[in-house]
Structure 1
């Protein structure tokens, strides 16, 4: 380890934040303005729905006077959900909220590879260092002064590049599979829209969504704590449905009815707070309340999945209209959402086209999980020097 040297982050990067943008400066269209929420979405490879913008004029004014994020700069969430990094891409054009995000700019590329720094910040090694300098009890935060003092163990640039290359190749494969799944799902939705919206037949019967499929509400999993360290599974809540199982996820006993165990490929519908419909792409887990596990004895998976997605915008609108702290829908809303039922022969023909798309998505999700596990295993070992990369 003699060639690995401890270096303070403040010695290899300028660590700063943005210029304050006031509420009155937000506009409906213009240059995207990111907060922690958008950075977390980008890190998790989710499409972001930008809600805030600033004018082109204001952006150029800031760019000329103070600078804006450039390729290879890194933004780090610094309040609440701490330590989520995002490395700016060449085509990115946005500004961001001061306080919420910290900006690593003007990296000394003679000392540190930007991909290596990004990967280090993503690793358990980096996260532990960030935790050590965080402040606050009710809401944790990272300060610029604290971040500057963090010491990172750096090998020579050639080794940094090799390590980043190994991990980036895995990330590239994961990204490719994610993009492929987005394309497959979009194709399935296009076929669905063609059949059931644009070319729907008058003679098709209709029935409520609630009768076409079974909507199993999850358990109050806090009432089912693990009985031992073997017979337990993580709890699937809305947070996990969005971001996956983590070390912070809750656990519950496996001594529950089998239907409450969620498996890879199951259709899950979050009906409260952040409404969404997803094909679960993780390990076995226990279904928590506020989530439906959607199944059907009479219709194929693609059919009830896409019908749930078709009504999702309407359900989100209903949830938003409820004057509660947490918007939600009721079973009555499922009763009122109607589904068109084609003939048995037509449904079979449709299934021949759409089912392979859904099955490929599920297969890709399994590959993503395997590659992610490999990356997460290698990452801390490579970043600490425990495993060395062979260089030709």
Structure 2
């Protein structure tokens, strides 16, 4: 069975632009809750849809817009600013009415000739991404016009082969997703226990523990800097990075890998500049960037306890920056916190440490699954491996 080599403009795909007319929503039209989800740049990521920061428009406003409405099995791609982030609108997405903004396009496949899940795999592969990177225009704000998208080349196999390829790769994605959910449940169980014991103060034996000066007997009220020491991360320009085994952490998470580590595991990192509030537990040696703060010294707590302690401080509320959100570690060190007894900390860690050991195992397993899938994907998509 032959594969068809063509450009996207000659493939069975419609490219649909967002509405740019007079009825395009203004800032005052957006609602926290409403009839139609109106996608913004943060909703379409390298990992698909992210609905943490949503804005909506009314049914009346939705009906006035001519273009840009999503239907089941449509694929969305960002075309301005951050290029090439994609998301698949399948039946498990929990919003019935969705529209794209003017910095996105919709791909709508003729499902009798091209399976949407196969095309989605293609645009997630280096075969598509490398072409997008070569076509990007604009200096201040990169753009990818539809006329350029149409020139991107694609190899389309017959439908039965499309389905086989999609089935093979979906097995990897299903395993990865199942592990991700297990990690979420494990993290949630540790967070719930921490809050129950150390925020609500319903720890084992709390009924019989005297309260002295407003805190349980055996506990201490200390400055955060007496419990742990936060330190600014280290510069590492992209030009000086050499790919290796050690993760590089920015304020929002992993930002690549390097041949050297600056900090030994286990470690705790949180955002210092740009994005604040996320606290990360790291079970392997790592390099924290200068946009982060990491725990240099665990004085009265270990890494797992420090993770939950910092999470419950909601550090984003201590922003001291004007244009760019910023944390000043000297200010953070002055925050008063409750430090429980050694016995109670040990009881908590007896429960929590095995959880984070399992989380680390599942995370490493997912990394290996992703590596295997990423090696396999382009070889399946270009016909190098027959199915």
TM-score, normalised via structure 2 length: 0.84
Query: Which of 91, 103, 108 does residue 106 from structure 2 map onto?
Result: 103
CA contact (8 A) 2:128 2:152 kept: no
Distance 2:240 2:134 in 1: 31
Match for residue 338 of structure 2?
Answer: 340
> Map of 1:214-363 to 2, 5 A cutoff?
214-222=229-237, 225=240, 236-238=248-250, 241-242=252-253, 244-246=254-256, 254=260, 260-261=262-263, 266-275=267-276, 276-280=278-282, 285-294=286-295, 296=298, 298-312=300-314, 315-319=315-319, 322-363=320-361
Q: C-alpha displacement at 1:223, in angstroms?
A: 11
Matched, 1:202 2:216: yes
In structure 1, the partner of 2:190 is 188
- Does the Cα contact within 8 Å between 1:234 and 1:245 map onto a contact in 2? no
SS at match of 1:130: helix
- Cα-Cα RMSD: 2.8
- The answer on 1:71 being equivalent to 2:72 is yes
- The 3 A distance-change label for structure 1 pair 223 and 388 is closer
Among 10, 29, 35, the alignment partner of 2:40 is 35
Residues in 1 aligned to 2:49 and 2:227: alpha-carbon distance in whole angstroms? 30
Q: State yes or no: 1:25 paired with 2:29.
A: yes
1:140 counterpart = 2:145: no
Closer, same or farther: CA 56–172 of 1 in aligned 2, 3 Å? same
Where does structure 2 lack aligned partners over 5 or more consecutive residues? Answer: 203-214
Q: Provide the rounded CA distance (Å) in 1 between the counterparts of 2:88 and 2:13.
A: 14
Residue of structure 2 in register with 1:369 after alignment: 367
1:375 aligned counterpart, secondary structure = helix
Pick the structure with more strand per residue. 2
Structure 2 Cα separation of the partners of residues 46 and 100 of structure 1: 15
Cα offsets for 1:14-46 (capped at 9, x unmatched): 101222323232123213321221111xx4268
Structure 1 residue ranges, 4+ long, deviating more than 6 angstroms after superposition: 232-235
Unaligned residue ranges in structure 1 (runs of 5+): none
Q: Which residue of 1 aligns with 2:4?
A: 5
Whole-Å separation in 2 of the counterparts to 1:58 and 1:185: 40
Residue aligned with 1:388, SS: coil
Q: Compute the displacement of 1:211 (Å).
A: 2.2
- TM-score for both structures, normalised by structure 1: 0.83
CA gap of 1:130–1:223, structure 2 versus 1, over 3 A, is: closer
C-alpha change, 1:358 and 1:144, in structure 2 (3 Å) is: same
1:55 aligns with 2:54: no
2:33 aligned counterpart, secondary structure: coil
1:155 aligns with 2:157: yes
